[in-house]
Amino acid sequence: YYDPPVFKLVSQEVFAEKFWNKNPDPEIIKQGREELIKVLDIYEKLLEGKEYLNGEFSLADIYHSPFTHYVYGVAKHSELWDSRPNVKNWWNRLRNREAVKKTLEEIP
């Protein structure tokens, strides 16, 4: 449920102009945001009392890193994570892990 809306945002706001020579489509961006809001609301509840999605750091968390990095920082939708305390704490914990930091540094 996470990937489709996140990919809509990344594809429009990061890849469209850079790789496809197209202008971002505001309707797809709006749709992606609306879908992502629903998913992050579920994550907010899921992460209650947990540090990571499965309770402890796992592949599930690692999988979220690249696109979240793009949407959170590059596409500037950080308020979607920051307005949900559990999601915000999860993302901060995740992106500040040494291995994840090194990986994200290598993403252009």
- Tell me the per-residue pLDDT of 28-84, one tens digit each, with 9 for 90 and over: 999 999 999 999 999 999 999 999 999 999 999 999 998 999 898 877 899 999 999
Distance of CA 5 to the CA centre of its chain: 9
Residue 37: the pLDDT is: 98
Q: Mean pLDDT lowest for which of 6-10, 12-16, 39-43, 98-102?
A: 12-16
Using pLDDT thresholds of 50, 70 and 90, give the confidence band for residue 106.
confident
pLDDT of 108: 65
Residue type, 34: E
pTM: 0.89
In order of 14, 16, 55, 59, 108, the CA distances from 25 in angstroms are: 12, 9, 37, 32, 22
pLDDT of residue 75: 74
What sign does the dihedral 58-92-2-10 (CA atoms) show?
Answer: negative
Six-digit token string for 84: 């949900």
Q: Is the distance from CB of 71 to CB of 32 less than 8 angstroms? A: no
